[in-house]
Amino acid sequence: MCGIVGYIGKRDVAPLLLEGLQRLEYRGYDSAGVVITGKSGVLKTVKAKGRVRELEARIPKRFTGTTGIAHTRWATHGAPNDENAHPHLDADGKVALVHNGIIDNADDLRAKLIADGVEFTSETDSEVVVHLIGRSQADTLEAKVQEALRRIEGTYGIAVMHQDFPDRIVVARNGSPVVLGIGDKEMFVASDVAALVSHTRQVVTLDDGEMATLKADDFRTYTTEGSTTSATPTTVEWEAESYDMGGHDTYMHKEISEQPDAVDRVLRGRIDDRFSTVHLGGLNLDPREARSVRRIKILGCGTSYHAGQIGAQMIEELARIPSDAEPASEFRYRNPVVDPDTLYIAVSQSGETYDVLAAVQELKRKGARVLGVVNVVGSAIARETDGGVYVHAGPEVCVVSTKCFTNTVVAFGLLALHLGRIRDLSVADGKRIIAGLRKLPAQIAEMLEGEAEIEKLAAEYAGAKSMMFIGRVRGYPVAREASLKLKEISYIHAEAYPASELKHGPLALIEPALPTVAIVPDDELLEKNRAALEEIKARSGRILAVAHQVQEKADHTIVVPKNEVELDPILMGIPLQLFAYHTAKAMGRDIDKPRNLAKSVTVE
């Protein structure tokens, strides 16, 4: 969603800010803007509805300076237009602010400010903050910002410049990420390391309630109450190239093709052949605690929720702990019973998804133990949880998740094996699962080699108005995820059902114009799945099966390599990522930036 970039140093700031904004485009946005301190010391602002390239086209020739902040906006309060784009200025045009998050009491504050004679130029909640800062009588910019923050309720990541304090940018965080990038006599700030890594890999991530003052050759961090905090820079794991397209036509294609290496990474250094188990260093759950867990509840949204559903099945099968997954967005609103013997696991690729973070915070408040299965190291959810497993998929730029989904499911496989071996999973079964895990990278590579065939199939099915996805037990979350992937990027309506539920309703939809994608693994439910194919065929439905062997009743079968049954869901989803990709491509869709969607949903 919204993105922030800022710079203070000696270089010409506008090109740096535009480059940073381009690197944040993947998060989703609908307008962009930039403010710099011009040569005369006056703030100069340019804003544009639409893409960063439209903002760039509006930047005048002499737009030079060495300090500036910029923003990509995802509309929440007010339409996407030039006026509502950030940065916002106070009434005197001396203070500029960019803001990510939502100010809950904006309406009240706006009414009070209007009563005091303030004229608003936008419909945004963010504008109230800049007016509060501008009207503060405090002596320093830091104190002005603190005074304003004391009056607002809600979430924010903000960056503020003030014409009377040209040597600094002040930033603050509460619920919306703010990362400082430390350069050589220059400082950067961004809401996402993607905007920083081409300049520096030394970063400091602010905590909620923390602020920072950035000067060209120095920075300091402190709380919104003014107490100094210690900030030790860490090194970002990924090189700038990891955020580039690397010769692929889309990030989605690049990320699908990276999966053999990504899966290799999530396994690396974790397998313990001696005890037929795995080591998960950051779990913070000793064997005695692991044995006392009576139930596991997994929480995530979208694709991560689907990965959690597969994870719950793996844990239940391998560790025999009753487990289930639930959308975090629902869980947090239903006043759930929080049971001390239940282990909660929050799943998130970005580690920023607000619904997941809010669920974690509610659980922590009630004293629950919460682990994280997260991709982005040091992200809000990773830091809020008591321990967890990083999925090490590497940066995922495409809005739709592919490699992170796969790595998350593999991470759940590791967790299930770990818990299983602490409980009742035998050494022999441990060995069997480890052998299966080790086969995954090569098997994924083998499947990716079949891309040309999948492309042909996608061309055949691309004309469908609607598609049905079915699977049973282990195959059902795979069907759900494949259906989500297809609808996200092709905009073809897709439904996912357990194959067992067909005759309880959805069979009524089956006809030649509604193709069905069926997940048909060679497991104990093979014959039951085949019966479902028969039922569809009897109603002249077209079938594309994803199976371990060619399915007679299907019009087409994508054959996937066989692994251990518990690990089947990891492999069966991969050809369907390519299927969604090629279907969307055949339809001319903007694959990396599907309409109405953002990569990280950091607001409600």
Catalytic residues: 2, 599
CA distance 393 to 402: 10
CA distance 191 to 198: 15
- The residues in 585-604 that bind ligand M6R, with binding defined as CB under 6 A, are 597, 600-601
DSSP state for residue 149 in the 8-state scheme:
H
Q: Work out whether 42 is an interface residue with ligand M6R (CB under 6 A).
A: no
Q: Work out whether 400 is an interface residue with ligand M6R (CB under 6 A).
A: yes
CA distance 565 to 576: 18
3-class SS at 307? helix
Q: Work out whether 441 is an interface residue with ligand M6R (CB under 6 A).
A: no
Q: Which is nearer to ligand M6R, 90 or 396 (CB)?
A: 396
Q: How far is the CB of 399 from ligand M6R (least distance, A)?
A: 6
- Give the pairing of strands 369-374 and 342-348: parallel
- The residues in 488-517 that bind ligand M6R, with binding defined as CB under 6 A, are 488
Displacement of CA 371 from its chain's centroid (Å): 17
CA distance 149 to 128: 11
Q: Work out whether 176 is an interface residue with ligand M6R (CB under 6 A).
A: no
CA distance 176 to 473: 37
Residue number of the CB atom closest to ligand M6R: 302
Find out whether the peptide bond into 87 is cis, omega within 30 degrees of 0. yes
Q: How far is CA 406 from CA 212, 261, 307, in A?
A: 37, 11, 8
Q: Which is nearer to ligand M6R, 131 or 392 (CB)?
A: 392
DSSP state for residue 359 in the 8-state scheme:
H
Q: Which is nearer to ligand M6R, 323 or 401 (CB)?
A: 401
Categorise residue 379: left if φ over 0, alpha if ψ from -120 to 50, beta otherwise: beta
Q: How far is the CB of 373 from ligand M6R (least distance, A)?
A: 10
Binding segment (CB under 6 A) for ligand M6R, from list 127-135, 201-209, 395-403, 544-552: 395-403
Q: Which is nearer to ligand M6R, 221 or 303 (CB)?
A: 303
CA distance 116 to 543: 66
Q: Which is nearer to ligand M6R, 23 or 306 (CB)?
A: 306
Q: How far is the CB of 286 from ligand M6R (least distance, A)?
A: 28
Q: Work out whether 401 is an interface residue with ligand M6R (CB under 6 A).
A: yes
Q: How far is the CB of 378 from ligand M6R (least distance, A)?
A: 14
Q: Which is nearer to ligand M6R, 302 or 311 (CB)?
A: 302
Q: How far is the CB of 305 from ligand M6R (least distance, A)?
A: 7
Displacement of CA 57 from its chain's centroid (Å): 30
Q: Work out whether 205 is an interface residue with ligand M6R (CB under 6 A).
A: no
CA distance 61 to 63: 6
- Give the pairing of strands 218-223 and 187-190: unpaired
User: What count of residues does the chain have?
Assistant: 604
Q: Work out whether 353 is an interface residue with ligand M6R (CB under 6 A).
A: yes
Quick note: the x/- pattern for ligand M6R over 243-282, rule CB under 6 A, is ----------------------------------------
Q: What are phi and psi of 573, to 5 degrees?
A: -80, -25
- The binder of ligand M6R chosen from 87, 134, 157, 302 (CB under 6 A): 302
Q: Which is nearer to ligand M6R, 161 or 301 (CB)?
A: 301
- The binder of ligand M6R chosen from 1, 170, 399, 543 (CB under 6 A): 399
Based on the number of CB atoms within 10 Å of its own CB, is 96 exposed (0-12), middle (13-18) or buried (19 or more)?
Answer: buried
- The binder of ligand M6R chosen from 301, 345, 536, 546 (CB under 6 A): 301
CA distance 152 to 149: 5
Binding segment (CB under 6 A) for ligand M6R, from list 279-287, 315-323, 396-404, 513-521: 396-404
Binding segment (CB under 6 A) for ligand M6R, from list 3-11, 41-49, 102-110, 301-309: 301-309
CB atoms within 10 A of CB 302: 22
Q: Which is nearer to ligand M6R, 7 or 405 (CB)?
A: 405
- The residues in 319-348 that bind ligand M6R, with binding defined as CB under 6 A, are 348
Q: How far is the CB of 405 from ligand M6R (least distance, A)?
A: 7
Tokens representing residue 374 in the block: 């997260």
Q: How far is the CB of 201 from ligand M6R (least distance, A)?
A: 22
Q: Work out whether 349 is an interface residue with ligand M6R (CB under 6 A).
A: yes
Contact 600, 352 (CB under 8 A): yes
- The binder of ligand M6R chosen from 250, 350, 406, 602 (CB under 6 A): 350
CA distance 581 to 252: 8
First to last CA, the chain: 11
User: Residues interacting with ligand M6R, by CB under 6 A?
Assistant: 301-304, 348-350, 353, 356, 399-401, 488, 597, 600-601
